[in-house]
Structure 1
C-alpha cells in the first residue's frame, strides 16, 4: 500500500465531504486498497485526518515562512505577503476546503489543530505586519480580515453589481481562473485594503 496515495485520496475526500462525511472504508475503496491495510499502516480515521492536516500545514508553512523571510517593513512588503497568501490558496484549494470544514464544525472531536497549526502562522504574520500598520489598526483583526476575504471569495465567489459578472454561486468551491478579471479585481481590492490600513509613512 502506498501511504502517500492513500493520504492523497484522504485529502481529497476530507476536503470535499469533510471529516464527518468520510469513512475509512470510503477512503480505502477510492484508493483501491482494503480498509484493514489503512488501519494497520496509518491508523484510524482521526489519525489519518491528522496526517492530512499536517501535510496541509507543512505546505502552507513553507509558503508563509518564505514570504515572511522576504518581507520588507513597508506597505509593498505587506502587499507581497497578502499576494503570497492568496496565491497559495489558489494553488492549494484542498487546504482552504479542509479549514472551511473545520470552521463549520467538522471534525470537532479532533481538537487542537488550530492551536498547533493555525496560530503559529498567524502569529508570524501579525508579528511583521504590526511594524507598518497605522496606530489605530489591530494587526490580529487585519490578518483575519484578509483570511476571511480570501476564503469567502474563493469559496463563495462574488455577486457584482454589473449584470452577468457573478462567480461561484454553488456550495462547492468555484475558484476563479488565475487570469480572470474577477480575480484581478479582488487582488486590487486587497492591495487597496492594505494601503489604507498601513501607516502613512509606510
Structure 2
C-alpha cells in the first residue's frame, strides 16, 4: 500500500471511505485498518491526515451533521416565510417534512450513520449528541412551534416528539422501506411505496396538529 502524506486528495478519500464503512458497519465494527485498505493507504498515512479512529469518526459525523443542518436550515427559512393562515402553515409544514425526507433519500449515508448511533455505536463519544443532534432538534422544534403558534395550530402538540417522529420515520423508511405480504422489501425507489409513505407521514403530522389540547 502507498503512504503519501503529501497527497492532497487523501483526506477526502479517507473521509469518504470512512463515511461509507461507518454507515454500513457502525463505529465498533470498523477499524482504521479497514478504512485505510479501502483507499489503498496504510494506518500511519490515515492517522497523518485524520488522526486516530475517534477523531476520524468525529470528522465523519461533523460532515454529516453540517450537510443535515444546511438542508434543515434552508427548509426552516421557507417554513418561516409562509403566510400566517392555518392553511398556508399546514402546507408549509408538510413541505418542510418533504424537504427532510428528500434529504434523507438523497444522502442515505446520513440516516445510516445516525441509526448506527441509535444502536449504541460509539457510546463513549457522547459529544456527538451534545454538539450536533440535541441543539439541531431543539432549534427545529422551537422554529416549528413559533410558526404553529402564529397560525393558531397545534396548541396541544408535543412538537419535540413530532420532530423526532419525522426523523425516526424518514430515516427508517429510507434505510429499510416496508415489507409487503409476500415478504418483498419495497423501498424508496419503488415510487408507489414512496408515495404511500409520504401520504402516511403527512397524515401523522396533520393528525398531531389537529389533536385537542
TM-score, normalised via structure 2 length: 0.83
SS at match of 1:198: helix
For residues 108-135 of structure 1, the C-alpha deviation after alignment (integer angstroms, 9 at most, x for no partner) is: 1222111211122212211122132421
In 2: Cα distance, 1:7 partner to 1:152 partner: 24
Say if 2:167 is the partner of 1:147.
yes
Say if 2:176 is the partner of 1:167.
no
1:10 aligns with 18
5+ residue gaps, structure 2, are 1-6
Residue of 101, 115, 121 corresponding to 2:116: 101
Say if 2:27 is the partner of 1:19.
yes
Q: CA deviation at 1:151?
A: 2.2
Larger mean Cα displacement after TM superposition, 98-107 or 70-79: 70-79
For residues 57-87 of structure 1, the C-alpha deviation after alignment (integer angstroms, 9 at most, x for no partner) is: 1111110010011112511111011111101
Residue of 69, 72, 78 corresponding to 1:70: 78
Residue of 165, 184, 194 corresponding to 1:183: 194
Residue of 49, 59, 66 corresponding to 2:67: 59
RMSD over aligned Cα atoms: 1.8
TM-score, normalised via structure 1 length: 0.88
1:171 aligns with none
In 2: Cα distance, 1:66 partner to 1:47 partner: 28
Q: Is the 8 A contact 1:56 1:95 kept in 2?
A: yes
Q: CA deviation at 1:166?
A: 4.4
Q: Is the 8 A contact 2:108 2:175 kept in 1?
A: no
Return the structure number with greater helix share: 2
User: Stretches of 4+ moved more than 6 A in 1?
Assistant: none
For residues 15-62 of structure 1, the C-alpha deviation after alignment (integer angstroms, 9 at most, x for no partner) is: 001110011111001111111011122100000000000110111111
In 1: Cα distance, 2:32 partner to 2:203 partner: 45
